Amino acid sequence: MKIETQYHYEKVWTLTSEVDLLKIIGEEVGDADPEGTLAYIKEVIASKKSITVGDCKFRNASNSLNS
């Protein structure tokens, strides 16, 4: 699954690699498990438009083609 991210101060969505996703999640959730959080994000965005974690939004890139 390809995932795009957008911080609250950005206007455009950016396609983000899994390595970078784990870094972003680690920064946003602190001591929580980044891999577990990423698995949850993937589960949610498979059926929902987007999810916000901290200051960053995540969405499925394939769902954004119509947006």
For residue range 17-65, list pLDDT tens digits in order: 999 999 999 999 988 899 999 999 999 999 888 999 999 999 999 866 5
Alpha carbon distance 8, 1 (integer Å): 23
CA dist., res. 40 & res. 67, Å (int): 23
Per DSSP, helices labelled H in the chain are 18-29, 34-45
Q: d(Cα 26, Cα 46) in Å, to the nearest integer?
A: 21
- Report whether pLDDT(67) > 60: no
Q: Which two tokens stand for residue 52?
A: 């916000």
Task: Give the pLDDT score at 64.
Answer: 64
Distance, in Å, from the CA atom of 64 to the CA atom of 57, rounded to the nearest integer, reads 13
What is the pTM for the complete model shown?
0.87
